[in-house]
Amino acid sequence: MTPATNPSNKPPKLQRNTLQIRHAMIMAVAAMSPVGSIFYNTIPQAGLVGAAMPLCYIIGFGVVLLVAHQINIMAAEFPTSGSLYTFVTQGLGVPWGFLTGWLSLTFGIVAIPAIFVAMSANFQELIPYWLDIHLNWIVWYCLFTLIVGAVCYLGIRFSLQLDLTLFMFELGVCLLLALIVLMQASKTGQLTLVPFTLTGLPQHSNLVGGVILSIFSFIGFESATTLGEEVQQPRHSIPKATAIALASVSVFYVLMSYVATLGYGTHNMAAFAQDAAPLNTIARHVWGNGFALLIDFAGIIAGYTCAVAFLNSAARIVYAISREELFPRWLAHIHPSYRTPTNAILALSGCSAFVGLGLGMLWTPIQAYTFLGTVLTLAALAIYGLVSLACFRYFSTKRRTQLEQNSTNRFDWLRHALLPWLSIIAISCILIGILYPPPPAPLHLAPVVALIWLLLGIGVLRFLQVHNPVAVRQASRLFVVDETETLS
C-alpha cells in the first residue's frame, strides 16, 4: 500500500478515481456480512419461525429490493460520500437530511459495538476450546476495536482489498458446508420444499419477527453509496455494484438458511434456537472437528469484515456532514497521506467502544447484541423510509420539469412514484411489527432509545438553526463528483 501524496497546499480530499466497481461491491457485501448474519441472526430466527427461515429471507429481500430501487436512482443523481444524508437533503430539505445523517450515526456507534460484542463473546467461548487461552470478552473487544480502527485508518483501498481476501475464504468454507449437507440430504431423501412454505412454521410462530431479522441481515447494503467520491464512474458503478451485491447476498441467505434447516433437521429447530453455534454443530456432525474449526474461523472474520465496512461507511457520512459544518469541522479532517477521514474514524471507534463495553457489562454480550441490533434496525428503517419519500418528492418536483423536457427520459410513475410509496408502506408495516406487541426486556427499551436519539438530533438541529443558520442554509449545496475529474 502506497500512501497518496498531496503536493499542493490545498486541504486534502478523499482520493478520486482510486476505486473500481469491485471495491463498491465488496463494501456493500461486507457491510451486510452474509456469513456473520447466517451465524448469528438465524439463532433467534429459528425460535420464531422454525424451519421457515428461507421463506423469511425471500420476503425480506422483496422489501429491501423496494428500498434499494430508490437508493440506486438517487445514487445515480448524486455521487457523493454524503450518501443517504445527501439524498434526503436534496429531496426533503436540510432539516430532514440532517436528521438522516444523525440517524446514520447509529451505523457506527451501534452496528460496530453490536458486531464486536457478538464476536467477543464467541471468542471467549471458542478460544479456550481450541488454544486453551482464557481471556475475558472485554479484552477481545478492545483488541478488535484497535485492529479495525487501524485498518480503516490506513486507507480504503487497503481495507477493502483485505475484506475481499477474507470474504472469499468465508464464502468458500460456507459453500463447502452447503455442498456436503445437500449431498447427504439428497442421498437420504431429506430434501424438501417445506422451509419455503408456511407449513414450515411451528405453532405460536412469529413470521413478522422472522422477516424483521432477515431485513436486519440486509442492513448495510447501501454502504457502497458512500464511495461516490472515490470510485470510478460513480453514477454507473454505485447502482450496479449495489444491485449485484444485494442479489448475490440474497441467494446466499436463502441457500445457507435452507442448508441450516436441513443440516440440523427441520423438526429440530427448537434445539437450533438454543445452540450458541449451530453451524459449528452441523459442521462437526458432517465432517468432524477440523471442519468445525474452519467454520468457527469463518464466522469470526465475517464479523471483522462487517465492522470494517460499517466503520468506513459511517466515517464518510460523518465527514460529509462535518464538511458542511453541521457537525464539528475537525471531524472533516482528511489524512494527507492515506486520504481517509481519520478524525471521524477515531471518534466513531471511541463512541462504539463506550457503547459496546458499557452495555455488555450492564447485561450480557448476547443481550447487548440483540438490543443494539434492534436499535439499528429501527434507525435503518426510518432512514430507508425518508430516502423513499425524498426520492418521490425529488423526482415529482425538482427533477420532474427537467425530465419532462427530455422526451427520452420522462417522469416515470412506476419508478418515481409507485415504487417509492410501496417501499414506504412496507417499511411502515415492518415498524409496526417491531413496536407491537412490545418485545420482552431489555428489547422493550430499544424504541425508547431510538426515540431519545432522534429527539436529541432535533435538539442539535434547532441549536444549529439558531446559532449557525448560515451553515444550515448552505448545507444543500452539493459535493458531487465530476466524472471527468482525475486525481492530479
Is residue 143's pLDDT more than 50? yes
Give the mean pLDDT of the chain: 89
**How much of the chain, in percent, has pLDDT values that exceed 70?**
93
- Please compute the mean of the pLDDT values over residues 303-322 and round it to a whole number: 91
What per-residue confidence (pLDDT) applies to 426? 93
Residue 56 clears pLDDT 60, i.e. is over it: yes
Mean pLDDT of 330-342: 94
From the list 101, 108, 107, the residue with the least C-alpha distance to 457 is: 101
Q: Taking the mean position of all CA atoms in its chain, how far away is CA 45? A: 18
Band (82; pLDDT cuts 50, 70, 90): confident
The β-bridge partners of 231 are 19
Q: How far apart are CA 99 and CA 323, in angstroms?
A: 16
| Domains within the chain, CATH numbers bracketed | 22-401+411-474 (1.20.1740.10)
pLDDT bracket for residue 481 (50, 70, 90): low
Mean pLDDT of 450-479: 86
Angle at 154 between CA 149 and CA 155, to 5 degrees: 110
Does residue 434 carry a pLDDT above 90?
no
pLDDT, residue 125, reads: 79
- The arithmetic mean of pLDDT across residues 84-94, rounded, is 93
Measured over the CA atoms of residue 56, residue 62, residue 64 and residue 65, the dihedral's sign is: positive
How confident is the model over 304-311, as a mean pLDDT? 90
Model confidence at 11, pLDDT cuts 50, 70, 90, reads low
Kindly indicate the confidence band of residue 4, based on its pLDDT and cuts at 50, 70 and 90: very low
2: confidence class by pLDDT, cuts 50, 70, 90: very low
Helix (H, G, I), strand (E, B) or coil at 19: strand
Provide DSSP, 128-142. HHHH-----HHHHHH
Whole-angstrom distance, CA of residue 316 vs CA of residue 223 = 10
pLDDT at 243: 95
Report the pLDDT averaged over residues 317-335: 92
Q: pLDDT tens digits for 214-234?
A: 999 999 999 999 998 999 999
pLDDT at 487 over 60: no
Nearby residues of 350 by Cβ (< 8 Å), 6 or more positions away: none
Which DSSP string do the residues of 203-255 spell out, in sequence order? TT--HHHHHHHHHHHHTTGGGGGGGTTTBSSHHHHHHHHHHHHHHHHHHHHHH
Read off the pLDDT of each residue in 136-156 and give the average, rounded to a whole number: 94
